[in-house]
């Protein structure tokens, strides 16, 4: 569904990612791991069209989308849950969800919102509250829900577990699994390696903008040493 080949992206002179190959497929979760500054978020924003593509190709459903605007990409089915959630703090939960469905017809707002509430019953109870007054976990649920309102087929999730309590992380990962079963392709960026390895089907490890390890979930189990080393986990022991 999504295929990056030898992708380079960055900010002018600053090269964030160099030569990344990445694939996302329906009913699969692709995890993108790496330390701070490895280029994970830049990759996500580049797929969404907010960071400049400096080389290579991005294909989505067989079409080169490098020249498409962010709006066209969302309309084509690429939804994004941004890092740090980025909710509209002064709007209510429901209004945040409505904003998420901006690119779809208004008639679909109702059914799509019901679908979100089915996945996250917890935020249904809080739909009238200001999003800024919610706990971190609930905010993340709203952020995922907001992305779902645009009816994505490919969901980009940036830092799912960052700053959340364990129970909220469980709920969010459960939701990801559910969405995967429903047929979505998911690209997940995580700092919490353990969590990501548990759910991912394909894993790519980045360091300073370059791939240092890539493979399937099974392969990763046999090369945990390598991955740990790549992520710098070993040296801290």
Partner 1 sequence: MGIYELSLAIIVCINIVLALGLNLITGYCGQISLGHAAFFGIGAYTVGVLAKAGFPSAVCIFAAILMAGFIGIIVGTASLRVRDDFLAITTMGVGFLFLGIIRQQEGLLGGEMGLSGIPTIGFDKPGFLVIAFIAVILCSALSLYIKRSWMGFAFDAVATDEDTAKLLTVDVAAYKLTAFALGTAMAGLAGGLYCYFTRFIMPDDFGFLTSISVLSMVAVGGIGSVPGVIIGTALLTLLPEMSTFLSDYKLLFYGAMLFAVMRFAPEGIAGIGTRVVQIYGRRGDAK
Interaction site with partner 1 (CB under 8 A): 48, 50, 70-71, 74-75, 80, 82, 86-91, 95, 98-100, 102-103, 106, 146, 150
Report, in Å, the least distance between residue 15 CB and partner 1: 22
* Choice between 128 and 166, CB closer to partner 1: 128
Residue closer to partner 1 by CB (options 84, 232) is: 84
Instruction: Please state whether beta strands 210-216 and 202-207 pair in parallel, antiparallel, or not at all (unpaired).
Output: antiparallel
| DSSP class per residue in 59-106 | EETTEE-TTS-HHHHHHHTEEEE-TT----TTSBHHHHHHHHTTTS-G
Nearest distance in Å: CB 43, partner 1: 15
| Cα pseudo-dihedral 148, 151, 157, 163, rounded to 10 | -10
The least distance separating partner 1 from the CB of residue 178, rounded to whole angstroms, comes to: 22
Longest dimension (CA), the chain: 54
Tell me how far apart the terminal alpha carbons of the chain are, to the nearest angstrom: 39
Q: How far is the CB of 82 from partner 1 (least distance, A)?
A: 6
Q: Of the two residues 52 and 95, which places its CB atom closer to partner 1 in the complex? A: 95
């Amino acid at each position: 569904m999504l295929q990056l080949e030898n992708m380079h992206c960055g900010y002018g002179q600053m090269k964030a990612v160099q030569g990344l190959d990445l694939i996302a497929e329906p009913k699969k979760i692709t995890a993108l791991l790496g330390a701070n500054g490895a280029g994970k978020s830049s990759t996500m924003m580049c797929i969404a069209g907010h960071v400049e593509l400096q080389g290579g190709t991005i294909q989505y459903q067989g079409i080169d989308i490098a020249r498409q605007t962010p709006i066209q990409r969302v309309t084509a089915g690429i939804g994004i849950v941004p890092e740090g959630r980025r909710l509209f703090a002064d709007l209510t939960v429901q209004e945040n969800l409505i904003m998420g469905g901006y690119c779809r017809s208004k008639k679909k707002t109702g059914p799509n919102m019901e679908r979100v509430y089915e996945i996250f019953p917890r935020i249904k109870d809080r739909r009238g509250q200001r999003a800024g007054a919610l706990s971190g976990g609930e905010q993340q649920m709203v952020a995922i829900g907001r992305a779902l309102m645009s009816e994505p087929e490919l969901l980009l999730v940036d830092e799912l577990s960052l700053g959340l309590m364990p129970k909220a992380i469980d709920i969010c990962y459960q939701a990801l699994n559910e969405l995967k079963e429903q047929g979505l392709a998911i690209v997940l960026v995580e700092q919490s390696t353990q969590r990501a390895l548990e759910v991912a089907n394909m894993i790519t490890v980045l360091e300073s903008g370059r791939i240092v390890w890539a493979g399937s979930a099974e392969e990763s189990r046999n090369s945990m040493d390598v991955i740990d080393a790549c992520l710098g986990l070993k040296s801290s022991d």
